[in-house]
Structure 1
Amino acid sequence: MTDISSPVCVYWIRGGLFGIGSPSAQIGGIFLLSGRREVRSRSDVNYYTARKLEDMARSMERLAKAFDEGMHKTGSLTRDDGLAAMQTSASMVCQDCSQCGIYAESEREDSYYLYYLLRAFEQKGQIEKEDMPRPFLAGCRKKEDYLAQLNRSLARAAMNLSWKNRFLESRDAVVSQFRELSLILGEFSHQIDQAADITEEYGYIMKKLFRRCHVAVENMLILEYESGRREAYVTARTTNGRCMTAKDASELMSEVIPGTRWNPAKDSRSIITRQSGTVRFEEDGEYQLLYGAARVPKQGERCSGDNYTFCESPGSQAMISLCDGMGCGEPACEESGQVVELTENLLEAGFGSRAAFKLVNTVLLLAGTEQHPAALDMSCVDLYTGVLDVMKLGAAPTFVLGQEGAEVLEAGQVPAGILSEAEPVMLSRKLWDGDHIIMVTDGVLDALPGEDKEQAMCQFLESLDFMPPQEMAERILEFALSFVPGARDDMTVLTAGIWKKE
């Protein structure tokens, strides 16, 4: 019989005995500790959730390793493929002829004929008479039939190799998905584990203030994350029969926590009514962004193959995404538009910028768009800290214009959707009040004079007076177009200026 005065716990789930253990390992709803019944705190819920997510992340990583073992991609036909093709040709054409010795000769480990024939087939797409050995040409009575059957057998082996490699590429993309999902779960687990519950610090005064405004707070959770950003979940209802907007409620929260600004989350309720409901509030960032865009299609085309978007993701993250589709016109526009839309959807769903970026690349691989790759460029700004994260796959450089001049953030070389192992170029920089971000497609840089295109752009940016982002984007595009009689490629300029909120 367990002594309940000892520092161990007995806990139940849905009325049944679940187990006995130390307090740090509890996952039940109610437990006995030192002879008293206590309700488990939210921090225990966070701990349990974080551990479960961490376990899932490890499981995904193990699954990725299991998929990654076994078959490996082969670049060319092997010795066994050649022997099988020869054996098939001999059985269908030569039958019981004892004069043919080409197969027996090719079975030798040091056989020159076999490797020569395989390389000749790969280079020319077929084996011709002059590629065959002289004894075969002089002694074989069915050399035309044998050669035709040998080419058919090798063509079938090459097709099987192509399908096998295609399958392995898809498998590698799935493995990459598993690894990215493992990273996402791991990051989410770390975020939950490091989140501090500060409800007790502000809960009483907040409930009191809400009660004065005829709002009964039934439950409240205020979390402070590792970066210092806060988030609140408030379950409340009005008591006077009227309604209160979530925006008005966020102003009450700003009064309770000095020096902060709060806003209702975009995906949360907008009104507090007589029926209980939960509203999610986010602490407003210290910075704000203003955007500008200017573009022109390639001369002779009706639409540009470049696409872009500006959006804000959960957690005071602002995202600027630019995709340069391969080619120009409507096909490139459609493909780059799909990439931009997918990136935006992932960020709005709560994926981290790096995870979203990598997932887009692997989705393009699985979709089979490697014949039409896209240069992907993304800048994410944390409006709470002012930190800029730049991620690129095959995109042109990004420029940051600050008080000390223009800085070039270099690009990657591999377009999205080409290689599953392609890692995006990731750069980070702290932005200050009044800094500007300038993103361009390669059509803009290619139009500039001289060998050092980036230096020419920096000199022009540094010569500009202070102006709104939209006007800056238009001026940059005009500057690039001034050096060419017409747009030789799709040209797009995106600008964003960051300022501290008053």
Structure 2
Amino acid sequence: MKKMNARQMMLCMAGSVMCSVGVMGCYPLVPAYFAALYLERVSGPVLLGMMYIGMFVFMPTAAAVKYAVALVVVMGAIRLVEWANEGCPSYMAGSMAAIITMILSVAGGLLEWKDQPGILAAALEGAFILGAVILFNRALHMILHWGRKAGVPERPDGGREERLLGYAESFQGLSQVFHSMSAAHQNGAAEELGQIQNELTGKICASCDACAVCWERDPAPLYGALSGILSAIWNGETPGEEKKQELVQYCRHSSDMVEEAVRVFERVSLNRAWYQRLVENREVIAEQLDAMAYIMQDCAREEKILDVGERHVLSEIQYRAKEQGIVVEELHLIEAVDGRIRIDAVLKSRLGGCVAVKTFLTLSGAVLGKKLRTTADARTFIAKEPFRFLIYEDTAYRSVQGIARVKKDEAKISGDNFSFLELERGEMLLGLSDGMGSGSSACKESEMVLDLVERFLEAGFSLETAIRMMNSAMVMKGENDIYSTLDLCMVNLYSGMARLYKVGAAAAFIRREDEVECIASENLPVGARAHLDAKPREIQLNDGDFIVMVTDGVLEYLHVPKPEETMREMILSIKTNNPGILAKKIMDRVMLFTGGRAQDDMTVLAACIWKKA
């Protein structure tokens, strides 16, 4: 026997009392209440037993027999519908209870049972039962689920946002310290040059008898001559004969002075190289601290759980899910930082069969007045085992992508890599990276760049933070001055707004109905410097717009004065709505310009967005 809680037991006992309410020899509350409560998965034998006790206590024998048979048939009919459809809506259960009761009433009259209602009374009773089942089922559903708390613990409140913002300020303060240390080093060149001059004069002039004669004159001519030679060596130049002759006039140890200056500068250059590396590492650390501060500020903006304020909405979703044979074990309504609604639900099928997730999306969307979608890797069916589903507002746009690639002549592996990544938050990333050179080393480098960006985005970071963190990692890695370009386009599939980030990358193109816009930028490639100044270019995309991204090998070997203009005309002349065909035709025409040869790796990436119906 199914285990029952106290609330269910009390409702079953209330069913006995319902048997005492009769009108014109009819007891319509009995089948109506039974069908409504049985739909809530209350134990059938217990409910039936309680109703039988009430019937044989309060009803005439003939009526008790009729309604006893009616309840058994109603229970069987509901089970049959649930077995066939995984659920039984209340209107269907009410219709079956009404028809069964009417048939038994008419049959009782024909058999001349005692105290049987007439045909008109039976018809009115059936109509009453139909409406009562629908009303009772909603009321009983609210009673059984009233006050239930979500299975996920509430998020702690106590000053979490303030603490995270405090941590963010601390990290920003540390970042400023590292930036100021680097600035102090850059501004200290003149001071360092003076220290070198003092070291030279201390070694050469201290043991010279004419030291007082050379340096105590005001002004000392030796100071200007020595400064000229030191400045030339500092700037990596060879001191000219004029400067050497000028030094000979004022110093009899001029040759020793120059030789010692060269030795000192060799040592200083080595120290400067190491210190410059230290400064670069400080810049990297400062960038990472800034990124951590940004992440903490982003985490401080918590999502809102709407369970309490939208309790009636959750109850309606549970009620409609129950009618479709879906058991909702947990249900949470969450408002994201961008104001969009998300549902976090643990679902299972009511009778152990399979129910399409689309059914739950449809009924939930009807309650919320929104179109909904699940994640790309979510299950398509609700099974008997509970499973957690994350459900988001559906996007307004969808995207299709295409790619065309050609390897460098005689190369086995292309140094170009690309990425198509659709995020759960309703954004799509188009990525293209060109590793320096060609072959496996360039391929590994460009693949690493895109892989790092994808990992940071999937972890929940913004694209700006992902780019900065990736660049910091590549600067720290920096081997043999191997760098990669990075061309990224993040499209918001809700609004159609695109943000393009170009880091040392070739121009990109936006094709609309009768025009093509060229988007170019001049930046150093990834990993070339600690501070990456990559400002996004924002463009509003509309239904049917294309995005075309190419690596520099495509434009450089067109062998025309203005390759961007040539590419723009080329894209505009190709009439197709298929991104794959567009990318392939662009590559075919580029190969005509190069005579069929590929002097570098070439990749064309195309994507189009369409508005959903």
TM-score (norm 1): 0.78
What secondary structure sits across from 1:476 in the alignment?
helix
What residue is the counterpart of 1:461 in the other structure?
571
What residue is the counterpart of 1:411 in the other structure?
521
Could you say which structure has the larger radius of gyration?
Answer: 2
What residue is the counterpart of 1:117 in the other structure?
229
Instruction: Map 1:377-416; keep pairs closer than 5 Å.
Output: 377-416=487-526
What secondary structure sits across from 1:351 in the alignment?
coil
What residue is the counterpart of 2:34 in the other structure?
none
Deviates more, 1:59-68 or 1:239-248: 239-248
Match of 2:493, as an amino acid?
L
What residue is the counterpart of 1:34 in the other structure?
none
1:137-171 CA-to-partner distances (Å, cap 9, x unmatched) read 88646945x54443222211222222222211211
Match of 2:530, as an amino acid?
S
Deviates more, 1:292-301 or 1:74-83: 74-83
1:40-88 CA-to-partner distances (Å, cap 9, x unmatched) read 9999857954444433333322232233234526569845544544555
Instruction: Map 1:29-108; keep pairs closer than 5 Å.
Output: 45=156, 48-72=159-183, 74=185, 78-82=189-193, 84-85=195-196, 88=199, 96-100=207-211, 104=215
What residue is the counterpart of 2:442 in the other structure?
332
What secondary structure sits across from 2:501 in the alignment?
strand
> Is the CA contact (8 Å cut-off) linking 1:293 and 1:492 kept in structure 2?
yes
What secondary structure sits across from 2:482 in the alignment?
coil
What residue is the counterpart of 1:320 in the other structure?
430
Match of 1:309, as an amino acid?
S
What secondary structure sits across from 1:72 in the alignment?
helix
Q: Is 1:426 matched up with 2:536? A: yes
> Is the CA contact (8 Å cut-off) linking 1:191 and 1:226 kept in structure 2?
yes
Instruction: Map 1:132-281; keep pairs closer than 5 Å.
Output: 132=244, 136=248, 140=252, 143-144=255-256, 147-190=258-301, 192=303, 199-212=310-323, 215-225=326-336, 227-236=338-347, 240=351, 249-250=360-361, 253-264=364-375, 266=377, 278-281=388-391
CA pair 468-131 structure 1, distance change in 2 beyond 3 A: same
What residue is the counterpart of 1:19 in the other structure?
none
Distance across 2 between alignment mates of 1:389 and 1:46: 34
How far apart are 1:217 and its partner, in Å?
Answer: 3.2
How far apart are 1:366 and its partner, in Å?
Answer: 2.4
Q: Is 1:489 matched up with 2:600? A: yes
What residue is the counterpart of 2:88 in the other structure?
none
Match of 1:487, as an amino acid?
A
Match of 2:463, as an amino acid?
S
Match of 1:117, as an amino acid?
I
Match of 1:382, as an amino acid?
N
Structure (1 or 2) with the greater helix fraction: 2
1:433-459 CA-to-partner distances (Å, cap 9, x unmatched) read 222111111222233464333232222
CA pair 480-135 structure 1, distance change in 2 beyond 3 A: closer
> Is the CA contact (8 Å cut-off) linking 1:287 and 1:498 kept in structure 2?
yes
Deviates more, 1:133-142 or 1:286-295: 133-142
Q: Percent identity?
A: 25
Distance across 1 between alignment mates of 2:218 and 2:599: 57
What secondary structure sits across from 2:183 in the alignment?
coil
Distance across 2 between alignment mates of 1:100 and 1:292: 78
How far apart are 1:304 and its partner, in Å?
Answer: 2.3
1:101-151 CA-to-partner distances (Å, cap 9, x unmatched) read 69948998993234322222134467688754656588646945x544432
Identify which of 315, 324, 348 aligns with 2:458: 348
Distance across 1 between alignment mates of 2:554 and 2:354: 52
Q: Is 1:376 matched up with 2:489? A: no
CA pair 114-274 structure 1, distance change in 2 beyond 3 A: farther
How far apart are 1:378 and its partner, in Å?
Answer: 0.4
Match of 1:347, as an amino acid?
L
Distance across 2 between alignment mates of 1:307 and 1:137: 64
> Is the CA contact (8 Å cut-off) linking 2:436 and 2:484 kept in structure 1?
yes
> Is the CA contact (8 Å cut-off) linking 1:214 and 1:240 kept in structure 2?
yes
What secondary structure sits across from 1:157 in the alignment?
helix
Count matched residues.
Answer: 461
> Is the CA contact (8 Å cut-off) linking 2:225 and 2:247 kept in structure 1?
no
1:384-429 CA-to-partner distances (Å, cap 9, x unmatched) read 2222111111212221112242222232333222233332131122
1:196-233 CA-to-partner distances (Å, cap 9, x unmatched) read 66743521012223444555434322123464532122
Distance across 2 between alignment mates of 1:478 and 1:103: 76
Distance across 2 between alignment mates of 1:75 and 1:400: 42
1:266-289 CA-to-partner distances (Å, cap 9, x unmatched) read 4x7888777766432223322211
Structure (1 or 2) with the greater strand fraction: 1
How far apart are 1:345 and its partner, in Å?
Answer: 1.3
Distance across 2 between alignment mates of 1:227 and 1:49: 20
How far apart are 1:323 and its partner, in Å?
Answer: 0.9
CA pair 129-87 structure 1, distance change in 2 beyond 3 A: farther
Q: Which runs of 5+ in 2 are unaligned?
A: 1-148
Q: Is 1:446 matched up with 2:577? A: no
Distance across 2 between alignment mates of 1:70 and 1:501: 53
Distance across 2 between alignment mates of 1:151 and 1:55: 51
CA pair 271-202 structure 1, distance change in 2 beyond 3 A: same
What secondary structure sits across from 2:413 in the alignment?
coil
Match of 1:96, as an amino acid?
S
How far apart are 1:293 and its partner, in Å?
Answer: 0.5
What secondary structure sits across from 1:295 in the alignment?
strand
CA pair 44-108 structure 1, distance change in 2 beyond 3 A: farther
Q: Is 1:473 matched up with 2:580? A: no
Instruction: Map 1:277-292; keep pairs closer than 5 Å.
Output: 278-292=388-402
> Is the CA contact (8 Å cut-off) linking 2:313 and 2:368 kept in structure 1?
yes
TM-score (norm 2): 0.65
> Is the CA contact (8 Å cut-off) linking 1:449 and 1:456 kept in structure 2?
no
Q: Which runs of 5+ in 1 are unaligned?
A: 1-38
